[in-house]
């Protein structure tokens, strides 16, 4: 071979070496960059979980000049229109960003009567009620019709009367209704009121089907007196299932009634929500209507819900508290679909909190004077607050309030659970669901699964390696060893992908055989191990003789 030919071969070899070196370098750097990009993407996705909530002022404007004192504030789902109910019986609809009136509806108040109390039903029903000075109540609800004239979305406020426009008589003695609670669903309606002569009364109605024309209408109302003397009742709450009734006074003394049987309400518990010299300023049901939120004059908000005691009875227990507000709480407004709430105090500070995470999300000064009314949007992306003279509209950025170190790694006392526990349940079909995000069960399960997998995998791997190296025939080793090395090189994600794409359908098509082999294989091994010492030599003699007669090597 000539020198020139040898030089060309060396140059070609060196070129291939350089190309291989560059390709390996590019491939390695590419893998590292891909892993870094995956990490950056996952970090980008996860970081919002741990970002704090924030609020931003959008607008503030004076209260409407007419209408009277505000009894109720709310917003529709898009937070474009606010609802304001006044003590003069007006239902005002306002633009949240400008305060301009959209529509005003006057409730049909009877002559010579005035509004003495107000009640709000569940979030889902949008039912409201006003108690009157003549012992009657007007039940109404608000909703919005959506239309698209000229391809432009238009919201039209509507006020309806689910039980009829005629006021419902609760007290035949026509005493003023000082405090009121209401719940109306598709089948039944319940109102509970305290009159000025301190009688606790309950009126219930249910829908009835006509025997003549199959029409469904509300039947006659039934009224009963639950108790004769409940002095100074300031708060009445009725859950949306119309089963649990809570009444409390300003001193924090609360009575818990079971009103599942409307003919025989029973007192479940009487307790005090407060300690020391304190006053109850606000009492609300958290979304789901299981928990109570109690705001007091010391700036504390506490959560209570029923827990079974040692005798199996449901009793209210204090679960957790929030003490970030430094002045008396004036309003507590629960979120519609999450276990969070808005609380405001007399100094004009508003706070967003989440009960399950035990997390104070944000504190913001809204006004220099006391906040008298507050509402949070159904999507929890806006809040509307009112002091003595103005309305304040704020946007809210609060995507993941349920995530906290306590919720992820600590024991949490969930609603309807007997005690704090580590629980993982990330989703549910109900909006009342309380996310359970503890990572302890997942971490423990992962470690446990890995331990048991290694318990079986290590002996199998060691014995398999010894067998492959010392006893397996060379021809089979050439197939088995590269296959195992390829499996080692494949990421577990790829193995899982192959298992799901190929192995799972195969097992599904041969499911009886898969389950049978779990029984047959161990029994077969035991049977073979028992028979081999007895018949093994005879079998080998027959096998070797047959191979020699066929002219083939026995091994």
Task: Give the whole-angstrom CA distance, residue 26 versus residue 221.
Answer: 82
pLDDT of 2 above 80: no
Instruction: Give the model confidence (pLDDT) of 358-413 as tens digits.
Output: 999 999 999 999 999 999 999 999 999 999 899 999 999 999 999 888 999 999 99
Q: Which long-range contacts (CB under 8 A, 24 or more apart) does 188-191 make?
A: 188/242, 189/139, 189/162, 189/163, 189/218, 190/238, 190/242, 190/259, 190/262, 191/119, 191/129, 191/137, 191/139
- The pLDDT score that the predictor gives to residue 276 is 83
**pLDDT (average), residues 238-245:** 94
Say if 97 falls within a structural domain.
no
CB 237 within 8 Å of CB 246? yes
Say if 139 falls within a structural domain.
yes
Say if 41 falls within a structural domain.
no
The overall pTM is greater than 0.85: no
Instruction: Give the model confidence (pLDDT) of 105-152 as tens digits.
Output: 999 999 989 999 999 999 888 999 999 999 999 999 999 999 898 888
Reference 102, options 112, 91, 111; nearest CA is 91
Say if 42 falls within a structural domain.
no
pLDDT of 62 above 80: yes
- The pLDDT score that the predictor gives to residue 214 is 64
Say if 84 falls within a structural domain.
no
Reference 440, options 401, 404, 410; nearest CA is 410
Structure tokens, 127: 């039912």
Residue ending a domain, among 272, 298, 315, is 272
**Domain around 526:** 490-555
Q: Which residues contact 50 (CB under 8 A, 6 or more apart)?
A: 403
- The pLDDT score that the predictor gives to residue 428 is 65
- DSSP codes of every residue in 166-227: SPEE--TT---EEEEEEEE-SSEEEEEEEETT--EEEEEEEEEE-TTT--EEE---EEEEEE
CB 374 within 8 Å of CB 386? yes
Task: Give the whole-angstrom CA distance, residue 267 versus residue 245.
Answer: 9
- C-alpha dist (Å) from residue 6 to 13, 15, 107: 10, 14, 105
Residue ending a domain, among 228, 254, 272, is 272
Residue ending a domain, among 247, 272, 297, is 272
Say if 166 falls within a structural domain.
yes
Report phi then psi at 71, rounded to 5. Answer: -100, -25
Residue in this structure with the two tokens 């889902």, named with its chain if needed: 124
Number of folded domains that form the chain: 2
pLDDT of 459 above 80: yes
Structure tokens, 68: 């009277």
Task: Give the whole-angstrom CA distance, residue 230 versus residue 244.
Answer: 17
Say if 227 falls within a structural domain.
yes
Instruction: Give the model confidence (pLDDT) of 180-228 as tens digits.
Output: 999 999 889 999 999 988 899 999 998 887 666 667 778 788 888 888 7
**pLDDT (average), residues 79-102:** 94
Radius of gyration of the chain (CA): 36
């Amino acid at each position: 071979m000539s020198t020139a030919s040898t030089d060309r071969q060396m140059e070609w070899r060196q070129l291939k070496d350089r190309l291989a070196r560059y390709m390996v370098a590019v491939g390695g750097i590419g893998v590292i960059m891909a892993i870094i990009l995956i990490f950056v993407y996952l970090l980008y996705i996860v970081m919002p979980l741990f970002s704090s909530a924030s609020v931003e002022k959008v607008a503030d404007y004076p209260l409407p000049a007419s209408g009277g004192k505000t009894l109720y504030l709310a917003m529709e789902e898009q937070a474009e229109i606010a609802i304001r109910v006044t003590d003069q019986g007006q239902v005002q609809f306002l633009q949240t960003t400008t305060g301009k009136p959209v529509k005003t509806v006057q409730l049909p108040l009877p002559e010579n009567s005035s509004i003495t109390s107000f009640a709000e039903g569940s979030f889902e029903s949008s039912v409201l009620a006003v108690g009157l000075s003549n012992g009657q109540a007007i039940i109404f609800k608000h909703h919005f019709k959506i239309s698209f004239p000229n391809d432009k979305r238009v919201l039209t406020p509507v006020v309806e009367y689910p039980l009829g426009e005629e006021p419902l008589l609760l007290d035949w003695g026509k005493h003023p209704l000082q405090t009121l609670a209401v719940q109306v669903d598709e089948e039944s309606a319940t109102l509970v009121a305290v009159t000025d002569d301190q009688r606790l009364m309950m009126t219930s109605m249910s829908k009835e089907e006509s025997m003549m024309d199959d029409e469904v209408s509300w039947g006659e109302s039934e009224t009963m007196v639950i108790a004769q003397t409940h002095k100074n009742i300031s708060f009445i709450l009725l859950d949306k299932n119309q089963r649990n009734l809570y009444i409390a006074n300003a001193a924090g003394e609360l009575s818990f009634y079971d009103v599942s049987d409307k003919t025989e309400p029973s007192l479940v518990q009487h307790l005090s929500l407060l300690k020391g010299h304190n006053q109850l300023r606000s009492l609300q049901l958290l979304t789901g209507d299981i928990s109570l939120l109690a705001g007091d004059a010391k700036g504390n908000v506490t959560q209570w819900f029923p827990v079974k005691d040692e005798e199996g009875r449901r009793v209210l227990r204090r679960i957790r508290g929030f003490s970030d507000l430094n002045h008396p709480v004036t309003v507590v407004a629960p979120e519609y679909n999450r276990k969070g709430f808005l609380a405001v105090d007399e100094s004009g500070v508003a706070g967003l909190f989440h009960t399950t995470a035990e997390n104070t999300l944000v504190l913001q000064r809204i006004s220099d004077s006391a906040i008298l009314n507050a509402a949070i949007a159904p999507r929890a992306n806006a809040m509307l607050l009112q002091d003595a003279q103005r309305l304040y509209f704020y946007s809210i950025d609060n995507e993941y309030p349920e995530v906290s170190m306590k919720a992820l790694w600590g024991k949490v006392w969930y609603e309807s659970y007997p005690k704090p526990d580590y629980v993982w349940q990330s989703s549910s079909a109900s909006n009342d669901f309380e996310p359970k995000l503890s990572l302890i069960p997942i971490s423990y399960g992962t470690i446990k699964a890995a331990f048991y997998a290694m318990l079986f995998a290590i002996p199998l791997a060691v014995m398999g390696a010894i067998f492959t190296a010392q006893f397996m025939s060379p021809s089979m080793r050439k197939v088995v060893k590269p296959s195992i090395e390829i499996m080692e090189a494949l990421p577990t994600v790829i193995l899982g992908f192959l298992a799901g794409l190929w192995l799972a359908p195969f097992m599904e098509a041969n499911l009886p055989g898969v389950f049978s082999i779990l029984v047959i294989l161990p029994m077969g091994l035991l049977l073979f191990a028992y028979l081999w010492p007895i018949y093994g030599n005879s079998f080998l003699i027959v096998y070797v003789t047959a191979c020699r007669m066929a002219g083939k090597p026995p091994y």
